[in-house]
Structure 1
């Protein structure tokens, strides 16, 4: 069994986990912080185990010979909430008093953790080359692009908006609720308010780009006295709160969400725009020997696992040559 599948008792018995919690070991702290980043859905379980161990303390570690039976009794007691009547023999009472205290500590910890972490945020992160599909509490679905993250409350009240915070890029398929519960996506530049729709949001490069595929959304710009903007399918709005620059035009929504199929689709895009997209989605850097090349336009599809398709097309269309100058760096001349 890997640490991904650890139960509460597995955490409590793990030497590294105990060293982190009880001794505040810096190396172990870094390990478990990285573990949470890899398994964000298990963060609540990890914190619950931490609270339990802090309350139980190191003196209540069961002996190796009876640890399995002891933990079984403790967890069974928590699960069923039975009242245990102990025999009157003093030796038996002395033997089990530490575990009775442990049970009380665990029950108290579980209650405290529920209060402290029950409504905490859920966060998902992706790295370069990783796409992730996430189902939200309302059964809406988010497709998260590479090098991006989202966060939201673990549970949503029916009389409150469903709120998401995004950094990077994601495609949203939002379910409509019978009570018309609003769905709001927050970025540094805009708040996107919807009832049920599909749209792509890209927050890279100090701006937010919203492309609407279906339905209707309203944008509230994060700027002084900015009027809300209602979008219709095919609209693309790009806004930067830092510069107050705003553009609005009609596009093909599928082209801007083509990354979901692990490809990038372009229609009369400038070479400069294509290079920026390659950097965002593939983590590569492309240098132009002549900046005039950047104004040329490109139409076509680039697989995210085969950059050579792009370079071959440039070579045929514009008589350009590409050389690889590093692991993920190229130069076009």
Structure 2
């Protein structure tokens, strides 16, 4: 077991974990809260990693970013310091280490202290992700959130028992909500709310989108707008909610059963669209690849297609597929593309 834990920690610290490895590591960490021997073993391995690479960082119980190489002088840094790092590799290491050490060193998910601390329950944490990155966030209750690029998630440092677990999202995130009977989890995106007890689902709500997309991978999700229930979704269902209309009719809501698209597939390295409008796909590609795409046929924007490509594909390759599917052509001018 020691070798396996050591491997999982190294994978996580250096942002190389697969989804299965992440699940396995988180399961061990949860078990360590009730297994003193396992807890000591994980801490021991962590200390060993720290000695091998003293440049690694972690978060202390006051929520401050510490740097091991400066720890002897007790120098503390703001949590926003990572935004100033210019080296992407250092930033990726920080993501893995800061989150995992917050769980491992500070009593595994901060123990029970934050569960009863009223001050902590009032503190709001805001995680903002840049245009060229994504991040895994572990919430107070054990819920895991994959936050996509150009996204912001606001959540309390500690959830209060007896009250809904509520977070606010701008952008896109994939949630694996820790199940808790009679303790609902609610994602707010504008005046649209997505409510669950325990499930896996994706919410996409960038500020430049006309609709909010809620896609369910497992469990059950209830979506409402201004306290009016719009739909209850189950596995492999998706709901499209218009953002610009105050009163929403049933005809304006797009609810469907998915055939090929998987909720949160972007976390596994794919950009997937099923019966998605060309204009929505183009907006996504511009955001992800940081390019400009000029669609010279406005009527083409409303046409819907199904498309799946790897996230690490060259944007020119993706546009070749898209234009082939729509019987169009494209040309490139510097970092701009024109579809005609």
Contact 1:188 1:222 in 2 (8 A): no
Q: Would the alpha carbon gap of residues 7 and 166 (structure 1) be closer, same or farther in structure 2, given more than 3 Å must change?
A: farther
Matched pairs, number = 240
Contact 2:242 2:253 in 1 (8 A): no
- 1:248: which partner in 2? 254
Larger mean CA deviation between 277-286 and 188-197 belongs to 277-286
- 1:11: which partner in 2? 75
- 1:278: which partner in 2? 285
Structure 1 position 120 matched with structure 2 position 140: no
Question: What is the deviation of 1:190?
Answer: 1.2
Separation of aligned partners in 1, 2:233 and 2:149 = 26
Separation of aligned partners in 1, 2:326 and 2:190 = 38
Among residues 177, 180, 200, which one is paired with 1:174 in the alignment? Answer: 177
Separation of aligned partners in 2, 1:315 and 1:193 = 38
Q: Would the alpha carbon gap of residues 157 and 266 (structure 1) be closer, same or farther in structure 2, given more than 3 Å must change?
A: closer
Q: Structure 1: any 5+ residue segments left out of the alignment?
A: 18-31, 43-113
Contact 1:221 1:241 in 2 (8 A): no
Q: Would the alpha carbon gap of residues 317 and 254 (structure 1) be closer, same or farther in structure 2, given more than 3 Å must change?
A: closer
TM-score, length of structure 1 as denominator length: 0.61
CA deviation map 1:189-221 (0-9, x unaligned): 212211111111111225422122211122231
Residue 267 of structure 2: SS of its match in structure 1?
helix
- 2:213: which partner in 1? 209
Question: What is the deviation of 1:146?
Answer: 0.9
- The structure with the larger Rg is 1
- 2:140: which partner in 1? 137
Map residues 303-318 of structure 1 onto 2, 5 A cutoff.
Answer: 303-305=310-312, 306-314=314-322, 316-317=324-325
Residue 309 of structure 2: SS of its match in structure 1?
strand
Q: Structure 2: any 5+ residue segments left out of the alignment?
A: 1-54, 58-64, 85-93, 99-116
Looking at secondary structure, tell me which structure has more strand per residue. Answer: 2
Structure 1 position 289 matched with structure 2 position 296: yes
Structure 1 vs Structure 2 CA RMSD: 3.3
Contact 1:183 1:195 in 2 (8 A): yes
Contact 1:163 1:186 in 2 (8 A): yes
CA deviation map 1:55-109 (0-9, x unaligned): xxxxxxxxxxxxxxxxxxxxxxxxxxxxxxxxxxxxxxxxxxxxxxxxxxxxxxx
